[in-house]
């Protein structure tokens, strides 16, 4: 059995420094039939640890009636994770947030007049009952039992978003942890969110950072994000700013490693603020965190989902329930690495670059301290100075360069010559042309084979274990590698950044590492690898003569015919009547076998809803991006109804991408099609 621990600098696995990637998925927001497939996709993206909220509301919406069936089957999810080889960080609340109704508290709890999120004895009795039911689901699946659960998070944002600060808050957090431990939640790691003045009760503080703030009350462009600056400050002032801003930390950060649990893998849009993150937004933010000393990359969300159907009400966060934001009734896509229906995005590929790196280089990287040059700007409003950082241990390490600021132009730095202080000397890198939007990291004094790579202006991706190890780097120019002498005992292979984004590391029939390049996704099952994609399902390999076989499939297509219906009035979730433009969509599918079909909808308007047999099954707030709906989940229907709500130009909403307005109103179906996903097997 693996052994896990930590010191003030990093996590450890079997006594060695360990740098995992963690990604959040909510089982109750994903169909049970898809759990294993979706976990395997996450693992393919480099995730080792799956973090997951247990929403009280999803399991005890009616007091005393616990529901762990269907998509709410927590034990089934934990067993699926174990079968897939994922580790679990279980976030047991009792308050979670997660854009759920009441932050995940059931409505009935709010009516009891208790001092919630406190040591009120009556409240603690109810929490103890909840923990007991969660433990029943998790029993026998903790690490000590040979199971996947290695971590437990207590509460969320406690003392920042609700709850108590100071000693009263610390005591409550200690009480919750002791309750969990006494119940049987015995794990190597207990964590608590640490930003914004939150109290942690002695748990490991985990931090966060988002590239924008869709909860911000403003409908204007916001100030430059501090998450693109190299800094030793761990706090993100913007998280939870809709509940209040607190830039303090309640823990001694010299005693705990710098871990993240909520780096934004994307952003969940709100009714009033429709932010659209890109892969570069997430990639550049990740680079800034690595250069600032992070030793665990934890993404929220990594996999989007759909709110389950409530018994008494809808289950999303809304202003009607006293929260600052209105969210879609159903959609919790989060615009993340893996979307609501399991589609891979550009964020998945960006994150995978770093995940592949830390998988092979992370043990040494963990031990490298962060050093910020005097020239490095400390504030995100400095858009002129070059942002750099160094992480090193002894003489070896990495130079980080970040010249990216979401929605702001950074100054170009042509022919930039950067000299790094190694601690015992200096290394000068080749001149670099650093343009607005560029970001990357580069090694110095790295041991490869029997030689030392003094420096290179290319980025390491992974190591292929073959007859002799192959160090794979990526760059979009002809890179320079400076060695102390001619290298033997290893090889270097350079690929483009585009190929690195599409790269997956596999084993061939002889057990040797190969790289597969595909525009789809490759994940592992018991009998081998599966290649899934919506375009031509194929892959190429390095080395080209690798002993591997892939079954290729051509493109399949479906069709959809949209027929506009007479405009009608529909009721929204609050019971208000609203005008919608309605369309009947008739869908045909290919005769050949396929994995899924995705209805792609481009429209101008505000909210759009999809109905099947008169029941609302999907929704979306206009962002300017294509709305994609997976049809497998709904049994591949032949006909659905689409409703589009008009959007007025003067509506109180921030839009990064504006629709087409006619007489100050946007409401049109602009483009619609069906794409088919297929799978192939790689042997």
Say if strands 387-393 and 396-402 run parallel, antiparallel, or are unpaired. antiparallel
Q: Residue 111's domain spans which residues?
A: 17-362
Residue bearing tokens 């927590």: 74
Confirm if 149 and 180 have CB atoms less than 8 A apart: no
User: Is residue 3 in a domain?
Assistant: no
pLDDT at residue 574 in the model: 58
Which of 316, 346, 362 is a domain's end point? 362
User: Is residue 301 in a domain?
Assistant: yes
Same domain, yes or no: 183 and 40: yes
pLDDT at residue 536 in the model: 85
pLDDT at residue 279 in the model: 98
- Segments in the chain below pLDDT 50: 241-245
Same domain, yes or no: 348 and 381: no
In which element (H, E) is residue 439 found?
A: strand 439-448
pLDDT at residue 440 in the model: 98
Same domain, yes or no: 317 and 457: no
Confirm if 399 and 457 have CB atoms less than 8 A apart: no
Contacts of 657 (CB under 8 A, 6+ apart): 276, 623, 624, 625
User: Is residue 626 in a domain?
Assistant: yes
Contacts of 75 (CB under 8 A, 6+ apart): 68, 137, 138, 141
Give the CATH number, domain containing residue 140.
3.20.20.80
332-351 confidence digits (pLDDT tens) = 999 999 999 999 999 999 99
What backbone torsions phi and psi does residue 680 show, to the nearest 5 degrees?
-130, 160
User: Is residue 7 in a domain?
Assistant: no
Which of 327, 362, 397 is a domain's end point? 362
Give the CATH number, domain containing residue 665.
2.60.120.260
Structure tokens that stand for 216 in this block: 């911000």
Structural domain count, the chain? 3
Confirm if 187 and 150 have CB atoms less than 8 A apart: yes
- Other residues' Cβ atoms within 10 Å of the Cβ of residue 253: 17
Confirm if 20 and 48 have CB atoms less than 8 A apart: yes
Residue bearing tokens 């200096």: 426
- Return the percentage of the chain with pLDDT > 70, whole number: 97
Same domain, yes or no: 478 and 579: no
User: Is residue 507 in a domain?
Assistant: no
Same domain, yes or no: 376 and 328: no
Contacts of 133 (CB under 8 A, 6+ apart): 59, 60, 66, 68
513-534 confidence digits (pLDDT tens) = 999 999 999 999 988 999 999 9
pLDDT at residue 243 in the model: 45
Same domain, yes or no: 184 and 288: yes
Same domain, yes or no: 313 and 252: yes
User: Is residue 11 in a domain?
Assistant: no
Same domain, yes or no: 136 and 221: yes
pLDDT at residue 530 in the model: 95
Same domain, yes or no: 311 and 372: no
User: Is residue 548 in a domain?
Assistant: no
Structure tokens that stand for 179 in this block: 């309750």
Same domain, yes or no: 160 and 207: yes
Residue bearing tokens 């740098």: 19
Confirm if 226 and 284 have CB atoms less than 8 A apart: no
User: Is residue 544 in a domain?
Assistant: no
Give the CATH number, domain containing residue 423.
2.102.20.10
Same domain, yes or no: 163 and 296: yes
Same domain, yes or no: 294 and 421: no
> Which DSSP state fits 117?
T
């Amino acid at each position: 059995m693996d052994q896990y621990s930590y010191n003030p600098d990093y996590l450890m696995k079997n006594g060695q420094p360990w740098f995992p990637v963690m990604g959040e998925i909510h089982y109750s927001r994903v169909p049970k039939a898809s759990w294993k497939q979706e976990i395997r996709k996450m693992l393919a993206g480099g995730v080792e640890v799956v973090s997951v909220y247990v929403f009280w509301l999803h399991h005890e919406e009616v007091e005393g009636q616990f529901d762990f069936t269907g998509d709410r089957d927590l034990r089934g999810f934990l067993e699926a994770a174990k079968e897939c080889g994922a580790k679990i960080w279980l976030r047991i609340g009792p308050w979670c947030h997660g854009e759920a109704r009441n932050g995940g508290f059931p409505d009935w709890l709010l009516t009891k007049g208790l001092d919630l999120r406190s040591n009120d004895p009556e409240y603690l009795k109810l929490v103890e009952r909840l923990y007991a039911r969660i433990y029943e689901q998790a029993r026998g699946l903790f690490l000590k039992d040979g199971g996947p659960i290695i971590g437990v998070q207590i509460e969320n944002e406690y003392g920042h978003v609700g709850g108590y600060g100071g000693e009263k808050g610390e005591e409550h957090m200690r009480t919750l942890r002791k309750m969990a431990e006494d119940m049987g939640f015995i794990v190597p790691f207990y964590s608590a969110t640490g930003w914004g003045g939150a109290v942690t009760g002695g748990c490991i503080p985990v931090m966060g950072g988002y590239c924008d703030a869709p909860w911000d009350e403003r409908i204007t462009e916001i100030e430059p994000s501090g998450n693109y600056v190299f800094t030793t400050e761990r706090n993100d002032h913007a998280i939870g700013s809709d509940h209040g801003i607190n830039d303090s930390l309640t823990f001694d950060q010299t005693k705990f490693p710098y871990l993240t649990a909520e780096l934004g893998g994307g952003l969940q849009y709100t009714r009033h603020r429709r932010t659209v993150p890109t892969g570069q937004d997430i990639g550049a933010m990740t680079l800034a965190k690595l250069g600032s000393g992070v030793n665990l990359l934890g993404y929220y969300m990594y996999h989007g989902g759909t709110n389950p159907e409530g018994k008494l009400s809808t289950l999303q966060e809304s202003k009607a329930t006293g929260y600052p934001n209105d969210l879609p009734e159903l959609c919790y896509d989060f615009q993340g690495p893996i979307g609501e229906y399991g589609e891979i995005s550009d964020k998945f590929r960006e994150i995978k670059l770093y995940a592949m790196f830390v998988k092979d280089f992370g043990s040494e990287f963990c031990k490298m301290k962060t050093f910020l040059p005097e020239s490095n700007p400390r504030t995100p409003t400095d858009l002129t100075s070059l942002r750099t950082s160094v992480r090193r241990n002894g003489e070896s390490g990495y130079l980080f360069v970040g010249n990216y600021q979401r929605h702001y132009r950074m100054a170009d730095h042509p022919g930039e010559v950067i000299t790094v202080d190694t601690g015992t000397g200096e290394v000068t890198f080749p001149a670099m042309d650093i343009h607005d939007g560029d970001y990357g990291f580069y090694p110095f004094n790295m041991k490869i084979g029997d030689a030392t790579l003094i420096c290179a202006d290319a980025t390491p991706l992974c190591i292929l274990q073959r007859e002799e190890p192959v160090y794979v780097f990526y760059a979009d120019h002809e890179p320079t590698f400076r060695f102390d002498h001619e290298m033997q005992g290893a090889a270097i292979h350079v690929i483009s950044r585009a190929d690195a984004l599409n790269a997956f590391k596999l084993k061939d029939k002889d057990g040797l590492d190969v790289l597969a390049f595909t525009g789809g996704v490759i994940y592992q099952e018991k009998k081998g690898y599966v290649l899934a994609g919506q375009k031509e399902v194929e892959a190429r390999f390095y080395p080209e003569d690798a002993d591997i076989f892939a079954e290729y499939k051509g493109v399949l297509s479906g069709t959809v015919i949209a027929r506009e219906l007479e405009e009608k009035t529909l009721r929204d979730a609050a019971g208000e009547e609203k005008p919608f433009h309605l369309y009947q969509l008739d869908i045909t599918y290919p005769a050949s076998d396929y994995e899924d079909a995705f209805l792609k909808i481009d429209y101008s308007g505000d909210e759009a809803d999809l109905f099947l047999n008169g029941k609302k099954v999907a929704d979306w707030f206009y962002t300017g991006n294509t709305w994609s709906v997976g049809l497998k989940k709904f049994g591949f229907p032949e006909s659905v109804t689409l409703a589009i709500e008009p959007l007025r130009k003067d509506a109180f909403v921030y839009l990064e991408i504006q629709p087409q307005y006619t007489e100050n109103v946007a409401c049109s179906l602009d483009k619609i099609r069906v794409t088919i996903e297929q799978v192939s097997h790689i042997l």
